Amino acid sequence: VAKREDRRGDDRGVYIISVAAELAGVHPQTLRIYERKGLLNPSRTAGNTRRYSERDIERLEAIHRLTQDLGINLAGVKMIVELEAELERLRKRMEAMARELERARRTASERVRSREITDIIPLSAIPRFPWEVGS
């Protein structure tokens, strides 16, 4: 049997509002309020019924922590969610850049150590005759 955890981050709408509310421990009406405030955007069935995804539930739990544990109102939650998304993006970019830097440094020393650089050496750096090397 597939467990709920296996679908972590899944975007497919699978839960009706009553189940989603129960999973997140909130009132179904609360979910409608969150949606109106632009905090949540569950998909809809052809019959206009909301369908919440696993990702929606996670988001819901995060919102619930911010409002209940920290006493932050919905306007604040909205901005916080946006800021955290930006932080996440920035962290990813920074990780990529760190790898890039690591690679650039490795390349710099390896190109010198290996033969790869011979074809980039300026011609003037190549001595015509062995006895000219020391000049």
Q: End-to-end CA distance of the chain, in Å?
A: 78
Question: Minimum distance from CB of 107 to DNA (Å)?
Answer: 52
Our finding on whether 135 is near a copy of itself (CB under 8 A) is: no
Reported in sequence order, the residue ranges of 7-130 that DSSP labels E, i.e. its strands, are 43-44, 50-51
Question: Minimum distance from CB of 21 to DNA (Å)?
Answer: 7
Tokens of 67: 């409002």
Residue that is written with structure tokens 């690679």 in the block: 103
Choose among a copy of itself, DNA, none what residue 12 binds, the Cβ cut-off being 5 to 8 Å by kind. Answer: none
Our finding on whether 85 is near a copy of itself (CB under 8 A) is: no
Our finding on whether 48 is near DNA (CB under 7 A) is: yes
Tokens of 49: 């019924």
Task: Report the C-alpha gap between 18 and 29 in whole angstroms.
Answer: 9
Question: Minimum distance from CB of 26 to DNA (Å)?
Answer: 5
Which stretch, 12-20, 82-90, 95-103, 119-127, contacts DNA (CB under 7 A)? Answer: 12-20
